[in-house]
Amino acid sequence: MNAADSEGLARKLLAAGYQEESLDRADIAILNTCVVRQASEDRVYSKLHELKAWKTPERTIAVTGCIVAKEGDDLRRRFPQLDSVVPIGEYDDFLAGLAARYDYSEGEAMPPAGRTGVSHYVRVIQGCDHNCTFCIVPRVRGRERHVAMADVLEECRAAVEAGAREVVLLGQNVDDYHDPGGCGGLAALVRAVERTPGLKRLRFMTSHPQDLEPELLETMADSEVVCRELQLPVQSGDDSILKRMARGYQTRHYRAIVERARALMPDLGLVTDVIVGFPGESEAAFLNTRGLLEEIEFDVVHLAMYSPRPGTFAATKMEDDVPHAEKLRRLNDLLALQREIAARKTSRWVGRDVEVLVEGNDELGRPYGRIRQGKRAIVLRGSSVSPGDVINLRVVQATAGQVLGLPAA
């Protein structure tokens, strides 16, 4: 979601004639922030401290993103070097202020360095109507607002016309999507978007086990365009913890979704999120999560240690009773387990041909992209391959995080 916001703001700045520059040459530094975990928030403060040395009267520092909703004007008091505090999506006044200060109208509009424009993020829902007890998102992003299906289709059409090959439909809980005009939910939206002329790939994220409808899995399985990847956070493998998190499902429900999805799409890439050390997580509860990871064998697990977020139900009503050292032990244990599972699962691609949408070149100059199941792919000896190409790759090597191969005949 933050990447989509950054892209949106970057597009507006480019359209106004600004250019992306390295920090030492730039006049304006904009931090787009995340507060979903304490560690993300701490990074913002540390960056703001660093920028003190960079700041001059001619230079501008702005902060946008979720920290603005959380901290508001306190940010200015704590960081006097800060020029602008910009609420998410409310960029017009900020841009007008910049325009009055700097004149870049003669600048040549260029794609930001490092971005190919192959993938285009389309926000279909803002905010979230769930109330998971650990989560600060509803507080900082507000209640759900759904974008009209016609507007989503128009944005996708324009993005593909401008060179995108893939669109990613985004929502904090994308399965909740419904067209405000009554044209249907996420499955209907996916079926409409996949007909966009020239579109090669369609992804959506993030799903919620409570809201994911069987029709969506069938739509994925039937489609040549929709990627075989499902981002389905489980958060815990223990039912008592799921209840304390107010997630609205039990592990048997989660298992049933995975079983159905894999029956329809045996090669599905499955991604999840897990929090360890949630209040009340006993050793037995932790082992249930460990067991679920061993049983389901996810392709990717985003692991996090619980950190109380101010204003959430868990932070105000539950004791943060798992000691930090124990949270760390559980985190490291699951990281090691998942590394081993991911390496084993990725090795299944060796010797097979996979379809890769090329997104750019890595630091060694090798083309990279992703396979339809979401895994990163590196093209060895691919000098004639360009961003936006869809190629067949014969996989010759695999690590936990990526496959490497040669263009197949």
Chain residues that interact with ligand SF4, rule: CB under 6 A: 128, 130-132, 135, 137-138, 172-173, 208
Dihedral of CA atoms 34, 40, 46, 50 in degrees, nearest 10, equals -60
Q: For 296, list phi and psi in degrees, rounded to 5.
A: -80, -30
Q: Which is nearer to ligand SF4, 116 or 173 (CB)?
A: 173
Q: Which is nearer to ligand SF4, 130 or 262 (CB)?
A: 130
**Omega before 346 cis (within 30°)?**
no
Q: Which is nearer to ligand SF4, 171 or 374 (CB)?
A: 171
Q: Which is nearer to ligand SF4, 135 or 193 (CB)?
A: 135
Q: SS3 for 367?
A: strand
Of 371, 362, 367, the C-alpha closest to 381 is 367
Q: Nearest approach, Cβ of 28 to ligand SF4 (angstroms)?
A: 30
Token couple for 78: 């704590």
Q: Which is nearer to ligand SF4, 132 or 205 (CB)?
A: 132
Q: Nearest approach, Cβ of 76 to ligand SF4 (angstroms)?
A: 28
Q: Which is nearer to ligand SF4, 29 or 137 (CB)?
A: 137
Q: Nearest approach, Cβ of 22 to ligand SF4 (angstroms)?
A: 34
Q: Nearest approach, Cβ of 132 to ligand SF4 (angstroms)?
A: 3
Of 103, 105, 58, the C-alpha closest to 83 is 58
Q: Which is nearer to ligand SF4, 251 or 373 (CB)?
A: 251
CA distance 287 to 292: 8
Give, in order, the Cα–Cα distances in Å from 16 to each of 31, 106, 122, 236, 240.
19, 9, 21, 45, 52
Q: Nearest approach, Cβ of 131 to ligand SF4 (angstroms)?
A: 6
CA distance 33 to 44: 7
The total of other beta-carbon atoms located within 10 Å of residue 39's CB is 11
Question: CB–CB of 224/249 below 8 Å?
Answer: no
Q: Nearest approach, Cβ of 135 to ligand SF4 (angstroms)?
A: 3
What radius of gyration, in Å, describes the C-alpha atoms of the chain? Answer: 22
Q: Nearest approach, Cβ of 407 to ligand SF4 (angstroms)?
A: 39
